[in-house]
Amino acid sequence: MRCVCWRSDVWSRSVWARRAAALTLVPMLLWAQEAIPTFGTTVYSNIGFTGEVYLLQPGTPRLPKFDKLKPRGSIYTNSLNIPLQDFREGFPGVTNRYEWFAINYAATFWIQNAAEYRFSLTSDDGSRLYIDGHEVINNDGVHPAITRTGRRRLKQGAHSIRVSYMQGPAMHVALVLEIAGPGEDFHVFDARNFRPVPGR
């Protein structure tokens, strides 16, 4: 059974409302076996990205050294897919914070066919993509929405992926990770599509 996920704007700012929302969610879990999660949820999933959320000092010019900071919470998602939007709409999964925060996403994914894969990372503000500990895309800094690409040859089997993201000052947010295999166009990287094939 899959977990039901909800956007941060449903997850209210008050403690009482958060508890009420959780209670409302319980009966939904009983029937929502094929619920499609939205981006950014506080419900744990063992598939996809786990994002550790950090607060930044105003004026931070680039991604921080996460090992020197204490995470303030965790969010979960199958894909990183937030097209450019007004920062006042918030960042799904992050409550009460519209500016000056960072998220360090990590996941494990499975490649069935060994090949060279292309990756595309769009962000406002900074972001970086790492595959198996190697930097593939550097899109760091405080800037409007920018798309950068990179590529890496991957063998069959399990691989680690990490996407670091920061939101600096207003006025927009964006974070989209895409992938393309040989002969493919870019499409959103969804961890559910990169799991081992049963029986192989």
Residue spans of the domains in the chain: they are 47-193
CA–CA distances in Å: residue 80 to residues 27, 103, 127: 28, 11, 12
Find out whether the peptide bond into 125 is cis, omega within 30 degrees of 0.
yes
Q: Residue ranges of the alpha helices (H) in the chain?
A: 15-31
Inter-residue contact 91 to 51 (CB < 8 Å): no
For the chain, how big is the Rg over CA atoms in Å?
Answer: 17
Query: In this predicted structure, what is the pLDDT of residue 110?
Result: 96
Write down how long the chain is.
200
pLDDT tens digits, residue range 104-161? 999 999 999 999 999 999 999 999 999 999 999 999 999 999 999 999 999 999 999 9
Which residues neighbour 29 within 8 Å (Cβ) at sequence distance 6 or greater?
Answer: 1, 3, 4
Inter-residue contact 110 to 157 (CB < 8 Å): yes
What does the alpha-carbon distance between residue 124 and residue 141 come to, in Å, rounded to a whole number? 9
Top-tier CATH class for 47-193: mainly beta
DSSP state letter for 193: G
* Token pair belonging to 40: 């950014």
Q: Is the pLDDT of residue 31 over 60?
A: no
* Token pair belonging to 4: 């039901």
pLDDT tens digits, residue range 33-47? 333 333 455 555 567
Query: In this predicted structure, what is the pLDDT of residue 41?
Result: 53
Q: Global pTM?
A: 0.77
